Structure 1
Amino acid sequence: MLSRMARMLVVKATAGSDAPERCSQAFTVASTAAVAGVDVSFWMTGESTWFALPSKAGEFDLPHAAPLPELLGILLEAGRVTACTQCAARRGITPEDVLPGIRIAGAAVFVEEVMADGAQALVY
């Protein structure tokens, strides 16, 4: 089945604790794809940007959902995780603040990734 999947999956999470089900879906789909061997680039934008900070994922709670720290750990280990430049700046988050392995990048990098040959983008 992997041969029919996109060569790269770019997932953008636009929600955080403000829309927990949508947020959880983004993390779950991205981490499931990463475990399946898909090249995953996960973007945290809007309220999900807070999860780039240490311990913030541990504050997230959604009944019957996989723990966000575990899903984020999978993404950090098997994929790429990016926090939106403008979203981070609006929240006072700097590169020194984020978890190791998370980069801060902007729209140009996102567009480059979604335009890559074989890429599939999902926005939650």
Structure 2
Amino acid sequence: MSRKLVVKVTAGRDAPERCAQAFTVAATALAAGAEVSLWLTGESSWYALPGRAEEFELPHSAPLDDLLAAIVAGGQVTLCTQCAQRRNITEADVIEGVRIAGAATFVEEILADGVQALVY
């Protein structure tokens, strides 16, 4: 039985190395066979929108759009409800496969047995 990894990323363009690290760890864990849930919060919320991950650049880092696509395809990607509301992002705006959910859902995920949570 594999463990579940929940990665909460708060950084975006404001802290590109931290942002890229979160996406890289989530995608790597997924490739290793873990169940992965990636939470987009704070400045990373913008990457729930089509085309935004393609704009991210960090030398020697895997393309963020490729990492995000892999996580959407094989895991769960969630945009924080409050973060979405503060940015006027609705469910109609986000990439297909991204859900919007709040703190209760996050807490439920991270308190389940066998879950490892990381925050970047």
- Short-chain TM bin: over 0.9
- Aligned match for 2:40, one of 39, 44, 64: 44
| Paired positions, count | 120
C-alpha RMSD over aligned residues:
0.9
Question: 1: distance between equivalents of 2:31 and 2:69?
Answer: 11
Deviations 1:30-78 (A, max 9, x none): 0000011100000000000000000000000000000000000110011
Question: 2: distance between equivalents of 1:40 and 1:101?
Answer: 14
Structure 1 residue 29 corresponds to structure 2 residue 8: no
- Which ranges in structure 1 are unaligned for 5 or more consecutive residues? none
The code of the aligned residue for 1:115 comes to L
2:23 is paired with a residue of what secondary structure?
Answer: helix
Question: 1: distance between equivalents of 2:80 and 2:27?
Answer: 19
Q: TM-score, normalised by structure 2?
A: 0.98
Question: 2: distance between equivalents of 1:74 and 1:116?
Answer: 24
2:38 is paired with a residue of what secondary structure?
Answer: strand
**In the alignment, what sits opposite 2:64?**
68
1:16 is paired with a residue of what secondary structure?
Answer: coil
**In the alignment, what sits opposite 1:112?**
108
The code of the aligned residue for 2:47 comes to F
Identical residues among aligned pairs (%): 66
Structure 1 position 7, deviation (Å)? 1.1
